[in-house]
Structure 1
Amino acid sequence: MSQLWHQGAGELAGRIRTGEVSAHEVVTAHLERIEAVNPRLNAITDVLAEQALEAAKVVDRERKTGPLCGVPMTVKENIDIAGSATTHGVVAMREAIAREDAPHIGELRAAGAIPLGRTNMPEFGMRWHTDNALRGATRNPWSAGHTPGASSGGDAVAVATGMVPLGMGNDGAGSLRWPAQCCGVAALKPSLGRVGMAMRAPVPFAFQLLAVHGPIAREVRNLRLAFAHLCGPGADPWYAPVPLDGPPLPKHVALVTGDNVAAPIAEALWAAAAALTDAGYAVEEAEPPHLARASEIFIQIMLNHGRVHEGQTPVESIASADFVRFWAAFEPVWRHAAGTAAADPMAERATIARAWHDWMCRTPLVLAPIRTAPAFRVGEDLDPAWLADWPESMRAVVAVNLLGLPAVAVPVDATDGLPQAVQVIGPRFREDLCLDAAAAIEARAGRRTPIDPR
């Protein structure tokens, strides 16, 4: 029998429900795993041991049988957990204790999941490497010299190494899918309106439109399990109570490769395409409509509607020296990548969305890169010259955020010791189709986590 921390969320919940193991044993096993590996990785920043063990006792004493009963999970530091600080990775917010859970965390608790720890992220979630002045850097368990991704990097590392079977992060510009690629785990970026945002404090329009909460797991089936229990409304005006499954659609997939995809990513895409073909999907190469312009409109909305105050606190007064250096290098790249200013970005967004809708009526699923290159070496994102092509390398990611579409990141292969992953994109509210296709890829690619730090 494998150790408990090797097992996925569904398997653990099933064993707890039958009494084969106790929730207390499951939580204890994961606490021991955290103690063994987290000091080398710095993925979990605050271990909620006392609260988690107490919650496990309640599960065992009351013989709870929820679909996630006794399953430990981590929660990123920009998501509210009652009684814990929502720091956003910022020193000035280290005492920002939340009074109540975020809506989807409350939904997961109601299903039986147990928060076991808070996870690291870059300051404000605005860097693609997980590091900050409050908590320090998180290390990639596959290679300490490479980034674990961001901004949900702490959750990706915790899941990849067996510290928890589920991580709760969010994705406004690839923040679930990029660390999944770097760490070799699976992640689901849901559709806009699927998972209710709290909206207790003013939320910038850009983040209302472009960002969503979602899960990270080692297996696609456990993404599906978690997803089924985090779709409550909260106080979110964008929320839409749409069924989790829709009618069958043709098993047609558009394969997006492009001209500037690094060899390891191209190999991963073709391997995923072969897996889908073997599973009965029809796969053909295609080019998404208006992909470059979608990236530009995404950036324009972020630049123009990414804050709620007219004035802005100087970044150097609240962020680490490395973040200040990163932002000084990246901001001009970011502004240049915004392209020609739209008279009305939302009108252009609607035009692009209609073009994608028409395209996806013919090929409902899209197989595309996440980033078009593998995990970068730590520190490279501080180099202005290196950063110059970052927006182009992430076009297939931010188009998904702009259009509010679902996407699943699924690992495919490992090259030179680093994992690779691809994303399966679907029509809005058709996470079920993305998960089905990702599961078919996973079944043929195999599973390589949990791993010990290298």
Structure 2
Amino acid sequence: MSKPIWQWSALETRDAVREHRVSVLEVVQAQLDHMRRTNPSINAITIDLGDHAIKQAKASDEALACGVEPGPLHGVPVTLKHNIDIAGLPNSSGVAALADNIAWLDAPVVKRLYDAGAVCIGLTNTPEFSMRAFTDNPLYGLTLNPWDEAITCGGSSGGAGAALASGIGTLAHGNDIGGSLRYPAHFNGVVAIKPGLGRVAHHNASAPDNRPIGMQLFSSQGPMARNVADARLFLDVISGFDIRDPWSVASASDLDVKNIGANPVRVAVAKVPGSVMASAAVMGIIRQAADWLDNAGYEVEEVTLPDLDPCWQNWWDILYTELCVAMRDDMLSMGGKDFKTSLSFCDTYGRMLDLPDYMAAFGKRLHHLRVWCTFMEDYPLVLTPLVAQDAPSPRGDIESEEQSRAFYQDSARFIGIVNYLGLPAAAVPAGLSNGHPVGVQLIGRALYESQVLDAAAIIENQAGILVETLWERSNSGV
């Protein structure tokens, strides 16, 4: 391969290592060199794990030399979001007061990655408490978008998205309670999949063991990658049951639900409500993606999604109530000025539920789940915008209450419902607008991540790997 090692995909890297065309040490050293050249300009990596990565690379090469069967990610460099437990490292979640919160046990995702042979080269930045769609904190600072520092890199997995787009790490871990995988994928031009409820086990032993039920149901650990095939590989590695997570289920490979259902697959292209001020460029890219699926044999139809606004509102009501009850005191005592500003804007449109209304909210959720299960019997895939408007600034959620409301309530209307319903959804780059990447969202039925990724691959085949455009532009000095 003529391209530099840091541009290799996970599959290319894995195969080159297995075929002894390159050593793990060469791969890891090339990635570390690139990371150290590139990260100062974007601030995506919070902790450089180079020394540990070099030791791990040497051990991986020795294992291959001794005939040990390589794992599915043997020698593949990855980054981990700085809010997951890695034994011996701090899990601060961007909070200065938690800088010395040292984990003593690897989270399930971390263990699965290490068992598969992956090499972690660094931790990626996240906003305080991982609770903003913009990545900035007093502990590590602002992460910039490698496409354009005037727009946000997204959040809360913003460091992961910016790192991937810049060529730092071949794969990136993130998590998502309300778009935290998909926002950065959209703004940085990379792929992400938010798995359905239980697909990827999670447990941070360093965190209090009293997470509210809504947060348990809405949150997912998941993969980010530069292409769909790598995202699929990553998801397969980290999926599966873990005794520490009672919600977790068998792995995607074990269930093998690919291609189950009607043929051709019907795709509902979401009608955008009149209340959402959608960019013409974004909607044009949605129509183009729909045409690509139609040409590939999918049966595509524009449809009004069921209970879109009630689902979004109930998701936000539950999440906001739980934040207020379980986390608000810590957020106010530990959070920085910008975080408190963002929280204060959310207060203007958040609804704190009393106990009867909170209980009733979960009854509404059950109703909405039944409605959507019925709907998805007819339309197993749903195509929507991720963010309907042009990309905001790096601190767009704290510039004014109006901008905060416009982003979280209107432009990103299709994000939170996926978490609320516990469904899988992929973000896949589909085009450029004003030189900035634009992604689309594909939502699937519970446990049908493979079907979602199949459709995402169709769009990727037509749109191309967008980050290659960024690298070409950077090389030409544009």
TM-score bracket relative to the smaller structure: over 0.9
The 10-residue stretch of structure 1 (210-219 or 381-390) with the greater mean CA deviation from structure 2: 381-390
Residue of structure 1 equivalent to 2:256: 245
Shift of 1:343: 5.7
C-alpha separation between the residues in 1 aligned to 2:137 and 2:362? 33
Match of 2:36 in 1: 35
Aligned position for 1:227: 235
SS class of match (2:347): helix
- Please give the residue correspondences for 1:431-446 in structure 2 after superposition, counting only pairs within 5 Å: 431-446=449-464
Structure 1 equivalent of residue 52 of structure 2: 51
Q: What's 1:98 paired with?
A: 103
Tell me the SS of whatever aligns to 1:195.
coil
- The alpha carbon displacement at 1:379 in A equals 3.0
The alignment status of 1:399 with 2:407, answered yes or no, reads no
Displacement after TM superposition at 1:297 (Å): 1.0
Show the 5 A alignment for 1:302-313. Answer: 302-306=319-323, 309=326, 312-313=328-329
Deviations 1:88-128 (A, max 9, x none): 10001111111121101101111111111000010011111
Alignment match of 2:404 (pick from 356, 374, 387) = 387
Number of the residue aligned with 1:412: 430
Q: Which moved more, 1:280-289 or 1:323-332?
A: 323-332
Match of 2:283 in 1: 266
Alignment equivalent of 2:74, drawn from 69, 76, 81: 69
Moved more, 107-116 or 210-219: 107-116
Contact conserved, 1:196 with 1:231, CA < 8 A, in 2? yes
Report the counterpart of residue 361 of structure 1 in structure 2. Answer: 377
Letter in 1 for 2:126: M
Cα separation, partners in 2 of 1:337 and 1:148, compared to 1, 3 Å: farther
Shift of 1:84: 1.1
User: Which residue, 425, 431, 436 being the options, matches 2:443?
Assistant: 425
1:388 is paired with a residue of what secondary structure?
Answer: helix
CA distance in 2, matches of 1:379, 1:152: 15
Pairwise CA distance, 1:81: 1.1
Once residues 321 and 448 of structure 2 are traced to their aligned partners in structure 1, the CA distance between those partners, rounded to angstroms, is 30
How far did 1:374 drift? 2.9
Please give the alpha-carbon distance, in whole angstroms, between the structure 2 residues aligned to 1:128 and 1:120: 12
Equivalent of 2:304, from 284, 287, 292? 287
**Structure 2 unaligned runs (5+)?**
none
SS of the aligned residue for 2:46 comes to strand
CA distance in 1, matches of 2:108, 2:331: 30
TM-score (norm 1): 0.96
Q: Give TM-score scaled by structure 2 length.
A: 0.91
Whether the 8 Å CA contact 2:85–2:204 is kept in 1: the answer is no
Paired with 1:98 and 1:314, the residues of 2 have a C-alpha distance of 19
Match of 2:269 among 239, 255, 264: 255
Give the number of equivalent residue pairs. 452
- Return closer, same or farther for 1:50/1:254 CA change in 2, 3 Å cut-off: same
Query: More displaced, 59-68 or 23-32?
Result: 59-68
The residue identity in structure 2 corresponding to 1:288 is L
Give matches, 1:8-407, under 5 Å: 8-63=9-64, 64=68, 65-198=70-203, 200=205, 201-202=208-209, 203-234=211-242, 235-241=244-250, 243-246=254-257, 247-250=259-262, 251-258=265-272, 259=274, 260=276, 261-306=278-323, 309=326, 312-313=328-329, 315-335=331-351, 341=357, 344-382=360-398, 383-389=400-406, 390-407=408-425
Equivalent AA in structure 2 for residue 4 of structure 1: I
Find the residue that maps to 1:112 and give its secondary structure: coil
Q: How far apart are residue 342 of structure 1 and its match? A: 6.4
Code of the residue aligned with 2:287 in structure 1: it is W
- CA separation in 2, counterparts of 1:84 and 1:318? 20
Q: Distance in 1 between matches of 2:271 and 2:463?
A: 19
Residues 240-276 of structure 1, C-alpha deviations (whole Å, 9 max, x = no match): 2263421422311000131332212201111111111
Structure-2 separation of matches of 1:429 and 1:415:
33
Q: Which amino acid aligns with 1:434?
A: V
| CA displacement 1:378-409 (0-9 Å, x = unmatched) | 33311112122222322211111001000110
Percent of counterpart pairs with the same letter?
37
Q: Could you tell me whether the CA contact under 8 Å between 2:318 and 2:358 is conserved in 1? A: no
| SS at structure 1 position matched to 2:80 | strand
CA distance in 2, matches of 1:445, 1:397: 22
Query: Aligned letter for 1:77?
Result: H
Q: CA-atom RMSD, angstroms?
A: 1.9
Pairwise CA distance, 1:314: 5.7
Kindly provide the CA deviation profile for residues 175-196 of structure 1, in whole angstroms up to 9, marking residues without a partner as x: 0001100000000100001111
Output the CA distance in 2 between the equivalents of 1:248 and 1:212: 24
Q: Displacement of 1:218 after TM fit? A: 0.3
Given that 1:265 and 1:373 are in contact with CA atoms closer than 8 Å, whether structure 2 keeps it comes out as yes
The letter of the residue matching 2:22 is V
Letter in 1 for 2:312: S
| One-letter amino acid of the structure 2 residue matched with residue 222 of structure 1 | D
Distance 1:135 1:275 in 2: 41
Structure 1 unaligned regions, length at least 5: none
